[in-house]
Amino acid sequence: MDIRKCAAEAIGTFWLTFAGCGSAVISAAFPEVGIGLVGVSLAFGLTVVTMAYAIGHISGCHLNPAVTCGLAAGGRFPTRDIAPYVVSQVVGGLVAAAVLYAIASGAPGFDLAKGFAANGYGEHSPGHYGLVSCLLAEVVLTMMFLFVIMGATHGKAPVGFAPLAIGLCLTLVHLVGIPVTNLSVNPARSTGPAVFVGGWAIAQLWLFWGAPILGGALGGILYRWLSEEPSALVTGIAPPRAPAE
């Protein structure tokens, strides 16, 4: 595995976690000019758009263990490279959470008990949704996210527009899922904040690993079955280029 690809994944996941969760922790309810649910959703989408153009040609810009596993299930990514990518993504998410904590804790009245953008179900769900509802939401939303990734990066898709389609899809799934679980669809993004919140966030983290990875695999398999030419697929969310090995 090329160390540059792993570094790109760590940097990209850092940006997704720092900017996405940062928008929720710092800006969502800021007095009078808070960006709210729509703003946070858009922030997550923009992290993917910007990083896809920046590092898509280096690593494929997965930024997410569920995306890596989903692409592998869809025949887009070699299984031997899953572990290095996932480790790099988790490291990026943890560093991002540490930097965000260092910044956010400088504000008067900062309180980790408010959640720090951690994902949760039951009493820790923003809308107090139960376990089954949260599990289903994470599986379905991740599945559709992977489905869009697979389609937008197909060899026959319009060249250069994949990052926009994927970023908009991530925005959309956040608009749906934030009230349910604070929306994960990304185990690395979930792990960083959970480590700092501790307690309940760590205890519930299993859901935000298991459900997105299951959903990602289902999305990859579904599109692989649907696609007319699986051999034309490309790796990751870089703009279409030469077929993956």
SS3 78: coil
pLDDT in tens, 57-76: 999 999 999 999 999 999 99
The crossing angle, in degrees rounded to 10, of helices 3-22 and 82-104 is 40
pLDDT in tens, 89-125: 999 999 999 999 999 999 988 888 888 999 999 999 9
Taking all residues of the chain, what is their mean pLDDT, rounded to a whole number?
91
- Tell me the CATH number at 215: 1.20.1080.10
Residue 237 lies in a domain: no
State the total domains in the chain.
1
Q: Which domain holds residue 23?
A: 3-232
pLDDT in tens, 42-62: 999 999 999 999 999 999 999
**pTM to 2 decimal places:** 0.91
User: Count of CB atoms within 10 A of residue 46's CB?
Assistant: 19
